[in-house]
Amino acid sequence: MDAVNDAANHTAEPVPGAGSAGAAGDSDHPTGHRLFPRVTSFRSRRGAISATQEASWDRMWPVIGRDVSDDKLDADAWFGRPAPLIIEIGCGTGTATAAMAQAEPQFNLIGIEVYRPGLAQLVQRVEREGIDNIRLLRGDAVDVLENMIAPESLTGVRVFFPDPWPKARHHKRRLLQPATLSLIASRLKPGGVLHVATDHADYAEWIAEVGKGESQFIGMNEATGGDPEAYRENAPIGFERPITKFERKGLSAGSAITEFIWGKIES
How do residues 34-51 score in pLDDT, each as one tens digit?
A: 665 544 555 545 568 899
CA 198 – CA 258 distance, rounded (Å): 5
Mean pLDDT of 8-35: 37
At 197, which amino acid appears?
A
For position 223, what pLDDT does the model report?
97
For position 255, what pLDDT does the model report?
81
Q: Is the pLDDT of residue 67 over 80?
A: yes
Rounded to 5°, angle at Cα 9 from 85 and 50? 85
Mean pLDDT of 2-27: 35
DSSP state of 236: S
Find the catalytic residue in 2, 6, 140, 163: 163
> What 3-state class would DSSP assign to 78?
helix
The predicted model scores a pTM of: 0.84
For position 95, what pLDDT does the model report?
92
Q: Where are the alpha helices (DSSP H) in 189-235?
A: 201-212, 228-231
For position 235, what pLDDT does the model report?
97
For this structure, is 26 an active site residue? Answer: no
Residue count (the chain): 267
CA 172 – CA 40 distance, rounded (Å): 9
What average pLDDT does the structure give for the chain? 85
250: CB partners within 8 A, 6+ apart: 1, 2, 199, 257
- pLDDT for 183-240, tens place per residue? 999 999 999 999 999 999 999 999 999 999 999 999 999 999 999 999 999 999 999 9
For position 9, what pLDDT does the model report?
43
